[in-house]
Structure formats: structure tokens, C-alpha cells
Structure 1
Amino acid sequence: MVRWHPYFLNPSAPKEGVVKKVHYREKFGPQSERIKARMAEVFRGHGLDYDVDGLTEFLVEAAKKVGIEGAAEFLDDPNKGVQEVYAELEKYSDHITGVPYYVINGKNKLSGGQPPEVFARAFQAAD
């Protein structure tokens, strides 16, 4: 079973958002280009284009394709769902320092992007 929980990557970010390319450059410095290239490679492996422009229209269209209605209205209201997110964060974000963050069978914890063999070992150890 997979359970998804929210986590604020940048809780001090302005509600109107940030330009991701600039933010990544400021946060990761010269590594940002390597990270971007790796993400593009991963996305291509799934037949997708990697785009960090963060276009709302793309999210709305993706939501429609999988049958989620009301995405545009949700994205237009920066306060929508905030209280629910804070409640979840209070329950689940203890000691999380990187994302994605995985807890496997309540035992093994993995943080950040990991190669498949790391997951394989974690699943085997969690049996």
C-alpha cells in the first residue's frame, strides 16, 4: 500500500510562487544543470518531456485526463487546502529532511531520489 502525505519543500516561498529555474539555480548552484539533465533523462525514460516552467494549464489538463474536476479552481485559490496540509504535516513530517521520503513497512526509511537497487534492498530488509 502506498500512502501519500504532503510536505512543504519551501515553506517560506511566496504564495504567488517562484520561477523554478531561478530557484533551482539559487538553491543548488552549479549542480542545478546536472540535476535538470538527470530529471530530463528520467522523464524521457517514461516517454515524457521534463519542463520546469510550472504552467498551471498543464496541471489542469493533466487533472482532466485522469478525471479530476475542479483543478483550475483549486489552483486559483492559494488558501485552498492549506489547513488540511498543515494537519497532515503535523502528523507525518517528523525528521524529514529530503523528498521524496519513504517509510517501508514501518521500518526502513529512504530520503531523496534513490536508485532501484537501494529500494530493492530496503524492500528485502523490510520483509
Structure 2
Amino acid sequence: MRELSIDVVSDVVCPWCLIGVERLERALESFPDVRADVRFHPFLLDPSTPDEGVDLRERLRAKYGVAPERMFERVESAARESGIPLDFTKVTRSVATPRAHTLLRHAAAKGTQRALKKALLHAYFLEGRDVGSIDELVAIASAHGFEADEARALLRDDAELRRTRDEAAAVASQGISGVPFFVFGERLAFSGAQSVDVMKSVIARALDEQR
């Protein structure tokens, strides 16, 4: 069994991250003899988002000056091409994500980080759930190795949240300004939700370079 590390910088409220993670999983299906160590790192699309969140459409309209529906159509189309039933009518709030990233950091030691990441993306984009809410996050984390009290304590720990924000800031300071951002085998990197074929070719190259 060959092994390959894959580092993914992303946010749980980034639709292209939803698509990129799904495409990565599909690409890895073509390498059944590879054990992928997928590691997720925090990125905050908007560090200024308040804990209670903001109206998604108002935020996008103010930031880009265009009708959000035009942006949604493009992303929904790309998602459907990857078999993801993305429907932005279910997504109404832009929420703060340091709490979700804090859970993801602790899920790594439990071996559930990869599954929790997918669960958080699906909860937000496919179910319209508030992944900035402590109660929602506790419910999601409880299915991925966390005791409810454990998750709630982490989500209310200011030191833990500060560490998450510091990690996200450190990633941004390295020049990563767009997500998802992937690093294969600690050597080959690219930005964006590239096609499954592109990901497969990069995985193959990374494996070759490890020999």
C-alpha cells in the first residue's frame, strides 16, 4: 500500500471547497492501492463575520455589486457536474467558521477529520444548517467521535478559538488567498476546484516523485 499526504486549505462555507473536496474523493477512487492522509487546514473567507452570521445575499451584493443569483447559477452548475445537488435556496446565512475549524482540528487525532469535513460541508450547503451554531456543531460532531459535552466545551473555549484564528491567519500570510488550495506529497500544489482528471494526474505525479 502506497501512502500520500494531501493537505487541503479550505473553509466550510466555501462552495468551491465543497466541489473540490468531492472531486478529490472521486480522484482518489482511481488509486485503490494508495492510503491518502488527507489533512484539512483552516481558512476564513471572511474573518470579520460575527458569531451570529449575516445575510448571505446582502453580503455578496455589497461585496461584488452584482445579483447573487448569477453567482449561484455558475456554482450550482459546476456542483451538478460533480453529482452534488447544490441548491442555494437552502443557504441563507453566511456564518462564522472558527468554531467548525476548531472541531476539525481536534477531529484529526480521532481519525474522523475527513468525514467531519464532508459532514460540515453537506450540512451547510445541502441542508441549509447553521454551522456557526454551537448546538448544530455539537449535533454534527456527535456522529464523528465527539462526546456532546466535549464538543460544547471546545466550542466555548476562547483559547481554542483564538488558536484556530491564528492558524488561519498563518496560512493566509503564506500567500494563500483563494481556496480550496491543495498540496500533494508536500511538493505539488494547486489552487481551485480542479477537474477530477487534473487531480488524478497530480496524484500520479506526486506518487512517482515519492519513489
Pick from 136, 141, 160 the counterpart of residue 63 of structure 1.
141
Q: What is the TM-score normalised by the length of structure 1?
A: 0.70
Q: Which has the higher contact order (CA 8 A, sep 6+)?
A: 2
Q: What is the TM-score normalised by the length of structure 2?
A: 0.47
Pick from 91, 111, 116 the counterpart of residue 191 of structure 2.
111
CA distance in 1, matches of 2:159, 2:53: 15
Larger displacement relative to structure 2 (101-110 or 65-74): 65-74
The letter of the residue matching 2:180 is: P
The letter of the residue matching 1:12 is: S
User: Within 5 A, what are the aligned runs for 1:74-93?
Assistant: 74-75=154-155, 77=156, 79=158, 81-93=160-172
Greater helix share, 1 or 2? Answer: 2
Q: How has the CA–CA distance of structure 1 residues 68 and 36 changed in structure 2, closer, same or farther, with 3 Å as cutoff?
A: farther
Name the counterpart of 1:19. 55
Name the counterpart of 2:177. 97
Greater strand share, 1 or 2? Answer: 2
Gaps of 5+ in 1: none
Q: Is the 8 A contact 1:25 1:32 kept in 2?
A: no
**1:7 Cα deviation after fit:** 1.2
The letter of the residue matching 2:192 is: G
* Aligned-partner SS, 2:175: coil
Gaps of 5+ in 2: 1-36, 86-117
Q: How has the CA–CA distance of structure 1 residues 33 and 74 changed in structure 2, closer, same or farther, with 3 Å as cutoff?
A: farther
CA distance in 1, matches of 2:143, 2:204: 35
Query: 4+ residue runs of structure 1 moved beyond 6 angstroms?
Result: none
* Aligned-partner SS, 2:182: strand
Question: Cα RMSD (Å) of the superposition?
Answer: 3.3
User: Within 5 A, what are the aligned runs for 1:42-57?
Assistant: 42-44=83-85, 50-54=126-130, 56=133, 57=135
* Aligned-partner SS, 2:183: strand
1:31 aligns with 2:71: yes
CA distance in 2, matches of 1:53, 1:27: 23
Residues matched between the structures, number:
125
The letter of the residue matching 1:2 is: V
CA distance in 2, matches of 1:24, 1:117: 31
CA distance in 1, matches of 2:48, 2:157: 14
Q: Deviations over 1:55-89 (max 9, x none)?
A: 534432221112212334444x3845232124423
State the identity as a percent.
Answer: 27
The letter of the residue matching 2:143 is: K
Name the counterpart of 1:121. 201
